[in-house]
Amino acid sequence: DTPRKHAHYSFMTAHEERPLAASLMAFAPNAPALTPADVRCCDCGKLTRADQTCRGMCAACTAANTDLARNIPTSLEVIMCKTCGKWERAQNQWVQAELESAELLALCARKLRGTKGMNIVDVKWVWTEPHSRRLKLRLTLGSEVEGGIALQQDVLVEFVVRTRNCEACNKVAAKDTWQAKVQLRQRAEHPRTLLALEQQLLRHKLVGDVLEVKRSPDGLDCHFRRRQDAQRFASRITALAPCKTKSSSSLVAANAKTGTSNVRHVFLVEVAPLCRDDLVLLPKGASSIGPLALVEKVGGSLHLVDPVTSKSVEMTAEAYWRNPFSAIASRRQLSTFVVLDCEIDRPTAQSRQKQPGQEAATAAAAAG
């Protein structure tokens, strides 16, 4: 009898590991499906389905007794450069961002720890005083616990703003740290084109890599930390005004043992000495109009207009510097007239004019 009992005991032990529902379905395939029973919550006593409980508690008690933010620090630090206002994203990596902007929000969210296994449902700013040196984020965390219960919790994280200088500002504070320089020049009676070019550079935010700007008698000297930044800045200028560029380099110091050297690069960008409303005398064969023309617009190319026939042409920067010319009269030397009447002059068979012209009655405008 003992061996039979032992065999029967082994049979029951092997099947106890299987779920009860699976065992019943094996012996009775046509039996109706089992529904979970209702149990009392061990905390509040509310009737809840057994498969919707977590550690014997209902969903409300589970949310009240579960802290999703237990591993998330509520106070962190973020570093800002006190000179240029950039924020440190990683070691030796600084980015420009405004307060309460999306870029700064992403930078602060990357510094959060303890969110492994949870979903960040929402992140938003909490307003703080601008001079308080504090940034606050409200996080909405989501997670799924036992029994398929989805939980959400709001967490308030405070960032303390620490200030120090970035590497670029430290180099600017020291002397002779630039590696490349762009000399922007316009040799004209009044550099109105150069002044308009400065406004376009500021409007399009193209001066972010400039370390220092010094004014010279004929223009500006822009210093850069890298040669690539100076080259990119010079190419942007040539797209905004008719320019020609020259480059040079000089050796400052060299180390024969390590094979390294300190080389400085200089880019000379010369803007055409023409401004809007200048009167120019075109060289022979330079354009299809002329020889006298007015400068209508100065951009990546020159736009000239014939004051007699009102015909407009566009001259590229390459064509201008191939045969350059200067202004014979500026806006200060010109007079303003008011058109009183205008009549169309039709060409006749005896006249050599191929296109209809215009006769205008004008009067000089009053000064002041």
Percent of the chain predicted with pLDDT > 90: 9
Residue 365 pLDDT: 59
Q: Other CB atoms closer than 10 Å to residue 33's CB: what's the count?
A: 6
Residue 12 pLDDT: 43
Residue 19 pLDDT: 55
pLDDT band per the 50, 70, 90 thresholds, residue 163: very high
Give whole-number Cα distances, 61 to 35, 141, 143, 147, in Å.
Answer: 23, 18, 15, 13
Give the pLDDT mean for 206-230: 85
pLDDT band per the 50, 70, 90 thresholds, residue 9: very low
Helix (H) or strand (E) holding 202: helix 192-203
Residue burial 322-360, b: 16+ Cβ < 10 Å; e: rest: eeeeebeebbeeeeeeeeeeeeeeeeeeeeeeeeeeeee
Per-residue pLDDT reduced to its tens digit, 73-97: 888 999 999 888 899 988 888 999 8
Give the pLDDT mean for 232-249: 89
Report the candidate in 270, 266, 222, 218 with the shortest Cα–Cα distance to residue 243.
270
Identify the three-state secondary structure at position 126.
strand
Domain positions in the chain are 37-66, 69-167, 177-271, 278-333
Tokens 């000379």, located at residue: 268
Average pLDDT, the chain: 79
Q: How would you write 326-364 as a 3-class SS string?
A: CEEECHHHCCCEEEEEEEEECCCCCCCCCCCEEEEEEEE
Contact 225, 168 (CB under 8 A): yes
Tokens 């209809």, located at residue: 356
Contact 77, 94 (CB under 8 A): no
Q: Is the pLDDT of residue 121 over 70?
A: yes
Strands (E) across 30-83 are located at 38-40, 47-49, 75-81
Q: Is the pLDDT of residue 193 over 60?
A: yes
Residue 134 pLDDT: 92
pLDDT band per the 50, 70, 90 thresholds, residue 10: very low
The answer to which of 50-59, 118-127, 245-254 has the lowest mean pLDDT is: 50-59
Per-residue pLDDT reduced to its tens digit, 320-357: 888 888 888 887 777 778 888 877 776 665 555 555 55
